[in-house]
Structure 1
Amino acid sequence: MAATDAVRTDDPTRRAPAPLAADPAVLRAFLDGPHAAVRDEVRDALVEHAALLDERLDLPRAELRRRVRDLVVEIGSSGRAAHGFPREYGGGGDIGASIASFETLAYGDLSVLVKSGVQFGLFGGAVLQLGTRRHHERYLPDVLTGRLLGCFAMTETGHGSNVQALGTTATYDPDTDELVIRTPDDASRKDYIGNAAEDGELAVVFAQLEVGGEGHGVHAVLVPIRRDGEVLPGVRVEDCGAKLGLEGVDNGRLWFDDVRVPRENLLDRFATIDPDGTYRSSIENPNRRFFTMLGTLVQGRVSVGGGAVAASKVAQEIAVRYALRRRQFEAGAGSEETLLLDYGMHQRRLLPLLARTYALSCAQQEVARRLHEVFSHDTPEADDRARRALESRAAGTKALTTWHASEAIQECREACGGAGYLAANRFAALKADTDVFTTFEGDNHVLLQLVAKGLLTDYSSDFEDLDQFGMVRFVTGLAVDTLVERTAAHQLLERIRDVLPGGRDSWDTEAGILDPDYQLAMLRFREEHQIAGVARRLKAGVGAGTPAGEVFSAVQDHVIAAARSHVERLVLEAFVERVRAEPPSPSRDVLAALCDLHALATIEADRGWFLEHGRLSAPRSKAITREVSALLRRLRPVALELVEAFGIPSEVLGARDLVGP
């Protein structure tokens, strides 16, 4: 991966690279990052409760839910859920440690992971980020220890991603100094709410706030729903029933029939109601206030992305270990049957997934680092640009990590043949329990639209006021040439001239395929070319008199493609930077080879686009494929070390039929 590797891969005089050797401990330190001790703490706890992974197969749903609830309460009482909360309420004040803990928990039962996320991340996080000191002092100590279980009641049957259009209302009654919570129709019932069906006692309810006959948009209100296990008057609860997975989580539906709560139950960090009934907010623009409020909850997206990567690691370790044990077909007459991982196609199936997992782990650590930096300030408004950049990066990374988990788990299941279909070998649970991650904390396609909006507006000061129609109007207010300059697509070629001695004409001949600057330049060109293309299409459509909504719908596929290309470039940058920061060692050489494999496999997967846009010739495209195959052969001898580095305890990995004792 070093610049010294910048040679033609089709050069017959090229010397074969030295064999790779890896130390799993070095690779594990690379993946664990700065919170290795926290991850080890969770690993030890998972071993203590590993039996649940086997027992859950035979437990009735009610018993499984009880076991999961008890484990979540134990996590709280042990203090392992408090890493990211302020010290004055029993926390550790380290958001990065909180993310690391959550990610590692995903090696075990995912119902425990998700219920913990609901309790401590969503419910506790909303109280922390949207409430003020009186809410913190009253509720957080009990939330963090699991003594008070709660819900995050945002999603409605009729409104999922479109949170601004929620139907639930919270109307201020000045005569009683109370807020009246009402569900006007079944489309406005709170749906898929974790902890609602059985265990939740208090809910953070997102509703349209009305004060003095005037609507102020969506706000969050604390609403009690149970006391001593009994549903309170005015609250109606219904179990969502059997799901595709995560049967240990008690998802439910909530209706509120004019439930009254004190005015002080409004989580009032960004807006409050004075005792005289006056509504006040430090953020005058209602759209900006709404997006600022949601922006404080970004930790949920970061956590889901990390959990997805960790769950995919479980599947990949099982599949790789199986491929190192299972033999099939003789290589020659009278010879021993061949290990699955010695087949080139099997390497093609598994090793690029491993490389992408390492890359996404680096990207995830970078998002967690930025999350900690932004929220270490007293207020997230302190640096609007950094906060908006974090929201965009978290949204895009979550999309790619959760899609990767779905793809990797499925491919690994298939790579284990019929044995992978047995529930005892974990793939059934991994597939079912992670499938919802692609829509948890925002549908992935909607999240990529958020990423694209940020790219098109270049983090305009009006960023938070723009819905999809506002984005179209914003872009059409710019001259196309100006926007192209902003995206710097043409300036990229100038940067390429700095990288390639022969300039643009040498793109396909002089740049080393294993040069990370070349790899990054390829992804950056694709990203910026696509952004400029979206801008042109938006402007042309509106210029032709087409309604803004139709214009956006017509170019939506281009919008998603540009956003995805942007995030893929960020992922590769994070991987390259982390590898470059590693001290020289045999393990660093392995990481460099993994980074090359990830970069070239990404380019290869979209070779059609690069060929169409003059960034690849047919010979160069073939050379990249040959290099990918060469990298697979180089990495094959260290495949076991690559998965051992995940640090998944054998008691937790399970799948004894596949991986052995």
Structure 2
Amino acid sequence: MDQPVIPSKVDVGALTEVLDGRWGELRKSVRAQMTDSTFREAHDLDTEAHRIQVLEQLRELAKTDRPRLGFEREYGGGGDIGGSVTSFEMLGFGDLSLMVKAGVQWGLFGGAVQLLGTARHHERYLRPIMDLDLPGCFAMTEHGHGSDVQHLRTTATYDPATREFVIDSPDKDAHKEYIGNAARDGKLAVVFAQLVTGGESRGVHAFLVPIRADDDGPVPGVSIEDCGRKAGLNGVDNGRLGFAGVRVPREALLNRYGDVTEDGTYTSPIESDGRRFFTMLGTLIRGRVSVAGSAGNATKRALAIAVRYGEQRRQFFRPGNEEEVVLLDYRAHQRKLMPALAATYALHFAQEELVGALHDIQGADDVDEQRQRELESRAAGIKAVSTWHATRAIQMAREACGGAGYLAENLLPALKADTDVFTTFEGDNTVLLQLVAKGLLTSYKDHFEDLSTLATARFVAEQFVGAVIERTAARQVIERLVDASHDDEDVLFDRGWHVKLFEDREEHVLDGVARRLRRAASEDPFEVFNDAQDHVLRAGRVHVERIVLEAFVAGIDRCPDPDAKALLDHLCDLYVLSTVEADRAWFLEHGRLTAARSKAVVAAVNDLCTQLRPHARTLVDAFAIPEQFLDAAFLSRA
């Protein structure tokens, strides 16, 4: 099918409108607020000065309605979950230390109180949390356990004689590590610990534990250590917390999913310890969703800077010309920036869908368990792919600006340093993609008691693999995409072919994983799963790439402006074909591309880069990033 022709000029505002989407008005108001000089970045501050500045900016945010958006109206909140996440994401255009500290205070700390606590906690704590009168921490990760939250070693042992929980760190490995707000500003922490009552452990629960007294010294029994200077995000006061016999009242337990009576009897609306644990964690995905969106906005900022620089910087003469060639006119430079820009748009639309689903599902009166599981899986996958993309794209943007891109005054080094940790916090990306694959293999059914490799492999072997193989095998012949009727190059721009290609790859990879794991029934389950781990990760990744494509297509369909729609169509083609190009080995090995068509894909990517090059500035301007956050010194000297 023929591609729509891109007009010579496309309205930036039309693109911004479709990008802003459901929370467009909120995005506009946040942009207006961010132009205030209060939110300007400073690149030459020492650690303490940076922390002071970020806390002052946090106080300015607390004066607005932004931090209240995600909380219930009855406690002074806005009742707008999607708006809350969107406003956090928008902070990703500026100093990411502010975004992270805001996320710790209102997303993680406040969110845990809201979602894991009950009325007694909401009435006492939510207003001071929203007002920043009660700075707090989210103390989950331990020195010895990061991703394996289920086996944290901190304990909360109930003492019926005093009606208190006793919080203990049995060893150094149980000390809480990398806890935002802990080193300097936090007063109260949500501490995740193994609940022990009557000599029996009931799994991980969350407790409200004071960590600082009124004089800002540690509460007796609490040890606080500053993590010190990091590679980035130095406006966030990360610290380590240890507990030695710290007593808190019985009411300190955030008891939505489990409670302890005065005599020590444990009660819960969910019988299974494993199911209860995953239900608790599943409610806390807003932080993961926010990180994905913030990474996307940081990527947009880096690409906007690099594109502007590429349009003004000249290098080398073309024979017969008196003026040197603009960097962005070079194919190699286009190859660096244009596919990254296409993927950034694709992930933006996927993120918008994710936020909308989060808003609708968590805002509903009744919990739809299957939709919640699907949401958790999608959030894990989008977070992993978005933050890995940010790491690669920001590095590429830095390289595209040469040595100038290495100077702090040109903003890119800070973006590179601040986003690097996004790939491992709010869930290590490798672990998250395994969770996505596990969800695909189990069709989101709740049969897992824990996240262990052994349990996953055994369940897949015994329960689901046969069904997965049967389902996918039936489609293999039908879904083969290399056939004589599609030898022409026009198919490369056929959206239906794109979607089928991605669907077919996902089904085939999932089928292969299922077949490999089936051996776990007769062999060592751990070894079988460990041997297939690369395959499992691929299954998660190709699934996410498929849903990202579908989100991009849906975003284009919502665009009312025909010129903007034509531009987005070409950009979507570039996203698809550059993704196929990057995975050509798989498509060739599995007969989905002929050698000739594989070469045609490379040529098509080149052609699309050339076609889109005149619109590069329009595409980055459509992000509507406040100009103060694009104020790189090398751009202002032009």
Q: TM-score range by the shorter chain?
A: over 0.9
Structure 2 Cα separation of the partners of residues 60 and 483 of structure 1: 55
Does residue 232 in structure 1 map to residue 211 in structure 2?
no
Counterpart position of 1:425: 410
Match of 2:99 among 113, 120, 126: 113
1:59 Cα offset (Å): 2.0
1:99–1:302 contact (8 Å) kept in structure 2: yes
Letter of the structure 1 residue corresponding to residue 54 of structure 2: V
1:463 Cα offset (Å): 4.3
SS of the counterpart of 1:78?
coil
Counterpart position of 1:397: 382
SS of the counterpart of 1:441?
coil
1:492 Cα offset (Å): 5.9
Does residue 515 in structure 1 map to residue 494 in structure 2?
yes
Does residue 452 in structure 1 map to residue 429 in structure 2?
no
SS of the counterpart of 1:226?
coil
Report 1:533-612 matches (<5 A): 533-543=512-522, 545=523, 547-612=524-589
Counterpart position of 1:37: 25
Letter of the structure 1 residue corresponding to residue 59 of structure 2: V
CA RMSD, 1 decimal: 1.8
Structure 2 Cα separation of the partners of residues 510 and 248 of structure 1: 52
Letter of the structure 2 residue corresponding to residue 535 of structure 1: A
Structure 1 Cα separation of the partners of residues 50 and 213 of structure 2: 23
Q: From the superposition, tell whether residues 287 and 474 of structure 1 become closer, same or farther in structure 2 (CA, over 3 Å).
A: same
Q: From the superposition, tell whether residues 607 and 531 of structure 1 become closer, same or farther in structure 2 (CA, over 3 Å).
A: same
Deviates more, 1:370-379 or 1:123-132: 370-379
Q: Deviation digits for residues 342-385 of structure 1, max 9, x if unmatched?
A: 11111111011110000000000111011011101235xx2110
1:193–1:252 contact (8 Å) kept in structure 2: yes
1:650 Cα offset (Å): 1.2
Match of 2:350 among 340, 343, 363: 363
1:506 Cα offset (Å): 3.3
Q: Deviation digits for residues 461-496 of structure 1, max 9, x if unmatched?
A: 31465532122112211485532233x353265367
SS of the counterpart of 1:512?
helix
Counterpart position of 1:184: 170
Counterpart position of 1:10: none
Q: Deviation digits for residues 438-479 of structure 1, max 9, x if unmatched?
A: 011110000000001001111223146553212211221148
Structure 2 Cα separation of the partners of residues 335 and 468 of structure 1: 64
Structure 2 Cα separation of the partners of residues 400 and 659 of structure 1: 33
1:113 Cα offset (Å): 0.7
SS of the counterpart of 1:204?
strand
Size of the aligned set, in residue pairs, is: 637
Structure 1 Cα separation of the partners of residues 572 and 492 of structure 2: 12
Structure 1 Cα separation of the partners of residues 8 and 603 of structure 2: 18
SS of the counterpart of 2:427?
coil
Counterpart position of 1:214: 200
1:584 Cα offset (Å): 4.9
Q: Which has the higher contact order (CA 8 A, sep 6+)?
A: 1
1:50–1:108 contact (8 Å) kept in structure 2: no
1:49 Cα offset (Å): 3.2
SS of the counterpart of 2:255?
coil
Report 1:200-599 matches (<5 A): 200-228=186-214, 229-378=216-365, 382-463=367-448, 465=450, 467-478=452-463, 481-486=466-471, 488=472, 490-491=474-475, 493-494=477-478, 504-509=483-488, 512-543=491-522, 545=523, 547-599=524-576
Structure 2 Cα separation of the partners of residues 619 and 240 of structure 1: 55
1:98 Cα offset (Å): 1.1
SS of the counterpart of 1:227?
coil
1:510 Cα offset (Å): 8.3
SS of the counterpart of 1:5?
coil
Structure 2 Cα separation of the partners of residues 376 and 493 of structure 1: 42
Counterpart position of 2:11: 23
2:157–2:195 contact (8 Å) kept in structure 1: yes
SS of the counterpart of 2:445?
coil
Report 1:603-642 matches (<5 A): 603-642=580-619
1:208 Cα offset (Å): 0.3
1:504 Cα offset (Å): 4.9
Structure 1 Cα separation of the partners of residues 174 and 6 of structure 2: 63
Q: Please, which runs of 5 or more residues in structure 1 have no aligned partner? A: 7-15
1:170–1:181 contact (8 Å) kept in structure 2: yes
1:507 Cα offset (Å): 5.0
Q: Deviation digits for residues 575-599 of structure 1, max 9, x if unmatched?
A: 0111123225111100111111101
Structure 2 Cα separation of the partners of residues 492 and 539 of structure 1: 19
Match of 1:159 among 132, 140, 145: 145
SS of the counterpart of 1:215?
strand
Q: From the superposition, tell whether residues 63 and 526 of structure 1 become closer, same or farther in structure 2 (CA, over 3 Å).
A: same
SS of the counterpart of 1:459?
coil
SS of the counterpart of 2:66?
coil
Deviates more, 1:205-214 or 1:651-660: 651-660
Structure 2 Cα separation of the partners of residues 311 and 340 of structure 1: 23
Q: Please, which runs of 5 or more residues in structure 2 have no aligned partner? A: none
Letter of the structure 2 residue corresponding to residue 602 of structure 1: T
Structure 1 Cα separation of the partners of residues 73 and 506 of structure 2: 42
Match of 2:130 among 144, 157, 161: 144
SS of the counterpart of 1:513?
helix
Q: Deviation digits for residues 132-161 of structure 1, max 9, x if unmatched?
A: 011011101010111110000000000000
* Segments ≥4 residues shifted beyond 4 Å: 16-20, 463-466, 478-481, 507-511
Letter of the structure 1 residue corresponding to residue 221 of structure 2: G
2:315–2:324 contact (8 Å) kept in structure 1: yes
2:288–2:383 contact (8 Å) kept in structure 1: yes
2:448–2:459 contact (8 Å) kept in structure 1: no
Structure 2 Cα separation of the partners of residues 81 and 278 of structure 1: 37
Counterpart position of 2:79: 93
2:67–2:84 contact (8 Å) kept in structure 1: yes
Structure 1 Cα separation of the partners of residues 464 and 358 of structure 2: 34
